[in-house]
Amino acid sequence: MNEANLQNQMMQFQQLQQQLQSLANQKFQLSVDENETDKTVEELKKVDDKTTVYKSIGAVLLTVKDHKALLEDLEDRKESLGVRIKALERQEKALKERYERLHKELQETIGTPADS
């Protein structure tokens, strides 16, 4: 393998590392949002319809009149977050496979042991 190909593979390897880190960050943030939404749903289910509930929209808090509609919105959000997390996990799996293949190729090329 020539020097240009090795440099190209090294750049690809670094890009894969960055992409994996970015995916991990995105997945973490979505998981935090999903957990927060889940806790909100749990708490909202504990209150009766007469309890005043507020919904944050930007920097404004609005009174919620229809608890059931809010619960449905939150459940939809939770489901959507779950779908997005699953999509990121599939992307992450594919990137990890590419990362491992390239890592092995690089180690074979430069002559270092594969398990270091």
* 14-41 pLDDT per residue, tens: 999 999 999 999 999 999 999 999 999 9
97: in domain: yes
Query: Model confidence at 108, in pLDDT bands (50, 70, 90)?
Result: confident
DSSP letter at 111 equals T
43: in domain: yes
**CATH number of 46's domain:** 1.10.287.370
Antiparallel, parallel or unpaired: β 53-57 and 60-64: antiparallel
Q: Specify the pLDDT at position 3.
A: 83
- What's the total number of domains in the chain? 1
115: in domain: no
pTM higher than the cut 0.85: no
Average pLDDT for 75-101: 97
51: in domain: yes
Report the distance separating Cα 4 and Cα 66, nearest Å.
63
Domain span holding position 71: 3-110
* Burial group, residue 44, by CB count within 10 angstroms (0-12, 13-18, 19+): middle
12: in domain: yes
